[in-house]
Chain A
Amino acid sequence: MNPIVDLQNVTKSYRDKLVLDAVSLSIPTNQVTAIVGKNGSGKSTLLKLIGGLIKADRGEILYRNGEPVRFGYVPEVTPTYIPFTPIEYLTHMGTIRGLQNKWLQQRIHTLLEIFHMKDNGNNRIVHFSKGMKQKVTIMQAMLEETDLLIMDEPLSGLDLEAQTEMEELLISLKERNISVVLTCHETKLLQRVVDQIIVIDQCNIIQTENHQAQEKSMNRLIFELTKTVSIDSIKQQNVIIKQEKEMGFHKKMIELNVSEEHTNKIVSEFLDRGASIKLLEPLHKKETEFLNQF
Chain B
Amino acid sequence: MKGLVHYHFTTYFRTYKYVPPFSVFIMMLVINYTYVPNPILDSYSYTSIMLFFIMGWFTITIFHAEDEGQKQITIMHAKNKKVYYISLILNCTLTALVLCIVAVAYPVVFNAFTPGLHSIHLVMGFLAHFSLAVLSIALSSFFTRGLVKNNVNSWWGVISILIGSLVISVEKVEVLKIKLINWVLPPLRYSMEIMSVDDQSISFPVKVYGQFAWIFIYSLIVITIFIAVMEKRKAL
Contact = CB atoms under 8 A, between A and B. Distances in A.
Contacts of B70: 79, 81-82
Contacts of A96: 3-4, 7, 74, 77-78
A143 B7 CA distance: 17
B73 A75 contact: yes
A80 interface: yes
Contacts of B73: 75, 79, 93, 137, 140
Interface stretch (B8-16, B109-117, B219-227): B8-16
A103 interface: no
B170 interface: no
Given A73-B76, A83-B14, A83-B15, A95 B69 contact: no
A176 B198 CA distance: 75
A77 interface: yes
Interface residues on B, range: 10 to 19
Nearest to A74: B73
B37 to A, nearest CB: 44
Nearest to B16: A83
A22 to B, nearest CB: 23
Contacts of B10: 83-84, 92
B76 A78 contact: no
A137 B6 CA distance: 20
Contact of A97 (B11, B14, B15, B77): B77
A154 to B, nearest CB: 13
Nearest to A77: B69
Nearest to B2: A95
Nearest to A144: B77
Nearest to A51: B76
Interface in B1-46: 3-4, 6-7, 10-11, 14-15
B67 interface: yes
A92 B3 contact: yes
A95 B67 contact: no
Interface centre among B3, B14, B78, B79 (most CB of A within 10 A): B3
B167 to A, nearest CB: 37
A75 B77 contact: no
Interface centre among B11, B15, B69, B78 (most CB of A within 10 A): B69
A79 B75 CA distance: 14
A280 B67 CA distance: 55
Interface centre among B68, B73, B74 (most CB of A within 10 A): B73
A96 B83 CA distance: 10
A73 to B, nearest CB: 6
Interface in A69-107: 73, 75, 77-84, 92-98
Contacts of A79: 67-70, 73
Contacts of A84: 10, 14
A79 B11 CA distance: 13
Nearest to B68: A77
Contacts of A140: 73, 77
B62 to A, nearest CB: 14
B69 A93 contact: no
Given A92-B7, A95-B3, A96-B4, A80 B76 contact: no
B72 interface: yes
Interface in B63-110: 67-70, 72-74, 76-79
Contacts of B6: 92, 95
Interface centre among B6, B76, B79 (most CB of A within 10 A): B76
Contacts of A81: 67, 70
Contact of B72 (A75, A93, A98): A75
**For the complex of A and B, 3 pairs with smallest distance between CB atoms:** A77-B69, A95-B3, A83-B14
Given A93-B77, A140-B73, 14 more contacts: A75-B69, A75-B76, A77-B72, A80-B69, A82-B67, A82-B70, A92-B3, A93-B74, A94-B77, A96-B4, A96-B74, A137-B73, A140-B77, A143-B77
19 contacts: A75-B69, A77-B72, A79-B69, A79-B70, A79-B73, A80-B69, A81-B67, A82-B67, A82-B70, A83-B11, A83-B15, A93-B74, A93-B77, A95-B6, A96-B7, A96-B78, A137-B73, A140-B77, A143-B77
